[in-house]
């Protein structure tokens, strides 16, 4: 058998195993009650948040069991954090609020520390 055939067989076996691990759902159980006729009642987005979480969790467990799940290394995590920080820092109003809270917090500590220093020097 060729290498491509072996890879395809492995992929099919993994898919079969994931399908066996999946519990399956009833379409009737997952109908959204608040769509007002604007959208289809089918699909992941129409499910309750609890059901979405359950399905995602099952998929993650199956992927780890098969050894195909992504696991972050420290370099990838660092890059992702940097990217997120760059996005957040573009929101000037948000950054201003963070700075204001930090200043208020440290200002409170500074005031207490100054009081303690002046009381100890009075003695």
What is the C-alpha radius of gyration for the chain, rounded to an integer number of angstroms? Answer: 27
Residue pair 51/30 in contact by the 8 Å Cβ criterion: yes
| pTM of the complete model | 0.31
pLDDT digits (tens, 9 = 90+) for 52-105: 999 999 988 898 888 888 888 999 999 999 998 888 888 999 899 988 888 888
In eight-state DSSP terms, residue 22 is -
Burial 44-73 (b: 16+ CB within 10 A, else e): eebbeeeeeeebeeeeeebeeeeeeeeeee
In the structure encoding, which two tokens stand for residue 109, read together? 């500590």
């Amino acid at each position: 058998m060729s290498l491509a055939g072996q890879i395809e067989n492995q992929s099919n076996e993994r898919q079969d195993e994931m399908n066996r691990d999946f519990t399956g759902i009833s379409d009737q159980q997952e109908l959204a009650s608040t769509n007002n006729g604007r959208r289809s009642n089918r699909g992941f987005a129409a499910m309750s948040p609890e059901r979405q979480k359950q399905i995602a969790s099952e998929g993650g467990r199956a992927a780890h069991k098969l050894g195909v799940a992504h696991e972050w290394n420290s370099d990838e995590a660092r890059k992702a954090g940097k990217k997120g920080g760059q996005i957040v820092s573009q929101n000037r109003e948000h950054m201003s609020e963070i700075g204001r809270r930090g200043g208020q917090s440290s200002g409170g500590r500074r005031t207490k520390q100054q009081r303690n220093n002046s009381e100890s020097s009075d003695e």
